[in-house]
Amino acid sequence: MSQTYSLIDTSPKEALAARRIALTHGNKPDALIEILHDLQAELGHVPESALPALAKALNLSRAEVHGVVTFYHDFHRHPAGRHVIKLCRAEACQSMGAEALAALVQRSLKVTFGETTADGAITVEAAYCLGNCALAPAMMVDGRLVGRVDAEGFEKIAAECRA
């Protein structure tokens, strides 16, 4: 049985991006987390179709790459909303009303943690300490830390994200 080879790379763009980014890191397995961050920065998420290409480029098993992607909460497996809100769920924030705030956020946006609003504006994620315990309850909005968030503060944040 004869095989034919194409001179044109027919890999999905995600796989091509994964190989290119891995190469910029020297195809070093110990750079996997940095590679995944770069891939997510470029594509907006870490797509499943990129994992085999990364595994091959880094000489890792697909399971090893998948394990890292699924272990760290910062990696999105699907495109996130235009804005990402991370709500602190750690003990200090819980003691200052984060549970009530979490219920408000989910009820107001009609999503649960890990979901994106129907209009694609906001993805809500749980975080387990944002390091802002003195200003609890805290959230991070597109990488910007916000402290002492109450119902009124959240409504303002949500409105800004939807504007």
**Structural domain contains residue 77:** no
**Same-domain status, 124 and 61:** no
Q: Check whether 59 has a pLDDT greater than 50.
A: yes
Q: Which two tokens stand for residue 91?
A: 């003990």
**Same-domain status, 66 and 28:** yes
The residue written with tokens 């805290």 in the block is 138
**Same-domain status, 55 and 108:** no
**Same-domain status, 133 and 93:** yes
**Structural domain contains residue 5:** no
CATH (domain of 143): 3.40.30.10
Task: Give all strands (DSSP E) within 7-142, no chain letters.
Answer: 83-88, 122-127, 139-141
CA 125 to chain centre: 9
Contacts of 155 (CB under 8 A, 6+ apart): 108
**Same-domain status, 90 and 143:** yes
Domain end residue (candidates: 71, 97, 114): 71
**Structural domain contains residue 130:** yes
**Same-domain status, 97 and 26:** no
User: In this predicted model, what pLDDT tens digit does every residue of 123-146 receive, in sequence order?
Assistant: 999 999 999 999 999 999 999 999
**Structural domain contains residue 145:** yes
Q: Given this model, what pLDDT does residue 5 score?
A: 45
Domain of residue 57 covers 13-71
Domain end residue (candidates: 51, 71, 91): 71
Specify the range with the lowest mean pLDDT, choosing from 5-14, 98-107, 113-122. Answer: 5-14
Q: Check whether 38 has a pLDDT greater than 50.
A: yes
**Structural domain contains residue 4:** no
Q: Given this model, what pLDDT does residue 151 score?
A: 96
Q: Given this model, what pLDDT does residue 73 score?
A: 82
Q: How many domains does the chain have?
A: 2
Give the pLDDT mean for 68-76. Answer: 91
**3-state secondary structure (DSSP) of residue 145:** strand
**Same-domain status, 65 and 39:** yes
Q: Given this model, what pLDDT does residue 56 score?
A: 96
**Cβ count within 10 A of residue 73:** 13
The residue written with tokens 């939807």 in the block is 162
Q: Which two tokens stand for residue 76?
A: 């999105």
Average pLDDT of the chain?
Answer: 92
**Structural domain contains residue 94:** yes
Q: Given this model, what pLDDT does residue 74 score?
A: 86
**Same-domain status, 89 and 146:** yes
